[in-house]
Amino acid sequence: MQENESAVLIDRQLQAVADRTRLRILLLLSSGERCVCDIVNTLQLPQPKVSRHLATLRAAALVRSRIHAR
């Protein structure tokens, strides 16, 4: 990774954790993997809002997504 790319990633990460809801999501995820529905229920937020926050966290390389087969 080049120096400029590193700076961009660090900037994204700092912006991502500057939001209280995203910090709450990271705290929930710190104890293990969760599905979006668990995050929605725990935080009492609409699913689209949680998904947008998760997208921001993914773009900052702070979380990864995984699809579960049922």
Q: Which tokens is 59 given?
A: 């773009």
CA nearest 45: which of 64, 68, 21?
21
Rounded CA-CA distance 68/26 in Å is 20
40 belongs to a structural domain: yes
64 belongs to a structural domain: no
Residue 1, pLDDT score: 59
Residue 42, pLDDT score: 97
Residue 29, pLDDT score: 97
Predicted confidence pLDDT, tens digits, the chain (70 residues): 577 888 999 999 999 999 999 999 999 999 999 999 999 999 999 999 999 999 999 999 999 988 876 6
Instruction: Look up the pTM and report it.
Output: 0.86
55 belongs to a structural domain: yes
The answer for residues whose C-beta is within 8 angstroms of residue 58's C-beta and 6 or more apart is 64, 65
23 belongs to a structural domain: yes
